A and B are shown apart, each in its own frame.
Chain A
Amino acid sequence: MALNVLIVDDSGVMRAMIKKTMLMSGLPLGEVYQAGNGKDGLEILNQNWIDLVVVDINMPVMNGEEMLSQMRENPGTKDIPVVVISTEGSQTRIERLIKKGASFIQKPFSPELIRDIVKEITGIGGDDEPPVK
């Protein structure tokens, strides 16, 4: 199974770093889509088959939390795994995101952490070993 991933972050550098990490992780990647804000992200979600969404919180036009809420209200996208990667420090906000079924990674992150979390939530090991639970 190849994973189609959508990366939503207003920084192109950050999107490139996340994409590179995914490639390095040995995950079976299919298409990698990118968007600069939540609104564009939702549009890509409606037009394509996406298996995993990686999203920032603070972005112009529509932030990541709003995007996540709208995804959860739409039957077509409500079960897609979401990883939030952000500098967000507010514990209440982080808990709110986790309640909506997202995993949270704090920036600055190590690429190894992204690999471990993505393997855990997709249940796909990048090599012969089972993912670390």
Chain B
Amino acid sequence: MRYVVGVGDMKAGQKGDIIVTHALGSCLGLMLYDPVMKIGGMLHAMLPLSKINMEKAQANPFMFVDTGVPELFKAIYNMGGLKGRLIVKAAGCGSPLGNNEMFKIGERNHTVLKKLLWKNSILLKSEDVAGSKSRTVHFNISTGQVIISSNGVETEL
């Protein structure tokens, strides 16, 4: 199966699946992978904190980093993933409008993510964040391989 993760969305899959998300700007793309179970999930969260609109966060937790990240972990745990085995990678959190962007959404998305991970004793395996480029992520659940394409250039994360 090929899943496409929209903005404020999350998809999880198993061996044979490909999960894709397009045009990550200031949004956070977070990928979790359990290499033993060969399962993985991807979150595409828009804004850092859910406190600005609790009702929206309840209707769609994947919109916010602070509510979406725990939901992604729960989804993987429910499929049999184990915390100690998880490989965590992050992409996005950029500033597509340049550094003088007023709200610094990308930077704040990244900060909230790092804080959540630190509190839960999880380190990122790798990340491709910040800058002004737009990123598309291909996540192959059979191999755990994450490919970032940006401006026609493909790199493995």
| Interface: B100 (CB within 8 A) | no
| Interface: A37 (CB within 8 A) | no
User: Nearest Cβ in chain A — how far from B141, in angstroms?
Assistant: 19
Cα–Cα distance between A25 and B121 once the two chains are bound (Å): 9
Cα–Cα distance between A112 and B118 once the two chains are bound (Å): 10
Q: Which residue in chain A gives the minimum CB-CB distance to B126? A: A112
Measured as residues with beta carbon below 8 angstroms from the partner, the interface class of chain B is under 10
Instruction: Report yes or no: A24 in contact with B114, Cβ–Cβ below 8 A.
Output: no
Q: Which residue in chain B gives the minimum CB-CB distance to A132? A: B126
Instruction: Report yes or no: A20 in contact with B121, Cβ–Cβ below 8 A.
Output: yes
User: Nearest Cβ in chain B — how far from A77, in angstroms?
Assistant: 29
User: Nearest Cβ in chain A — how far from B88, in angstroms?
Assistant: 10
Q: Enumerate B107-146 residues with CB–CB distance to A below 8 Å.
A: 114, 118, 121-124, 127
Instruction: Report yes or no: A115 in contact with B123, Cβ–Cβ below 8 A.
Output: yes
| Interface: A90 (CB within 8 A) | no
Majority DSSP secondary structure for residues of B touching A: loop
| Interface: A111 (CB within 8 A) | yes
Cα–Cα distance between A115 and B124 once the two chains are bound (Å): 10
Instruction: Report yes or no: A110 in contact with B114, Cβ–Cβ below 8 A.
Output: yes
Partner of B118 from A23, A25, A111, A115 at Cβ < 8 Å: A111
Instruction: Report yes or no: B123 in contact with A23, Cβ–Cβ below 8 A.
Output: no
A66-94 Cβ-contact flags toward B at 8 Å (1 or 0):
00000000000000000000000000000
In the complex, chain B residues whose CB is within 8 Å of the CB of A110:
114
**Of A21, A24, A25, most B-chain CB atoms within 10 Å:** A24
Q: Which residue in chain A gives the minimum CB-CB distance to B124? A: A112
A109-133 Cβ-contact flags toward B at 8 Å (1 or 0):
0111001000000000000000000
Instruction: Report yes or no: B122 in contact with A24, Cβ–Cβ below 8 A.
Output: yes
In the complex, chain A residues whose CB is within 8 Å of the CB of B124:
112
In the complex, chain A residues whose CB is within 8 Å of the CB of B127:
112
In the complex, chain B residues whose CB is within 8 Å of the CB of A112:
123-124, 127
Instruction: Report yes or no: A23 in contact with B114, Cβ–Cβ below 8 A.
Output: no
User: Nearest Cβ in chain A — how far from B15, in angstroms?
Assistant: 19
User: Nearest Cβ in chain B — how far from A6, in angstroms?
Assistant: 22
Q: List 14 A-B contacts (CB under 8 A).
A: A20-B121, A21-B123, A23-B121, A24-B121, A24-B122, A24-B123, A25-B123, A110-B114, A111-B118, A111-B123, A112-B123, A112-B124, A112-B127, A115-B123
Residues of chain B touching chain A, judged by Cβ–Cβ distance below 8 Å, are: 114, 118, 121-124, 127
**CB-CB nearest 9 A-B residue pairs:** A24-B121, A24-B123, A112-B123, A112-B124, A111-B123, A115-B123, A25-B123, A111-B118, A20-B121
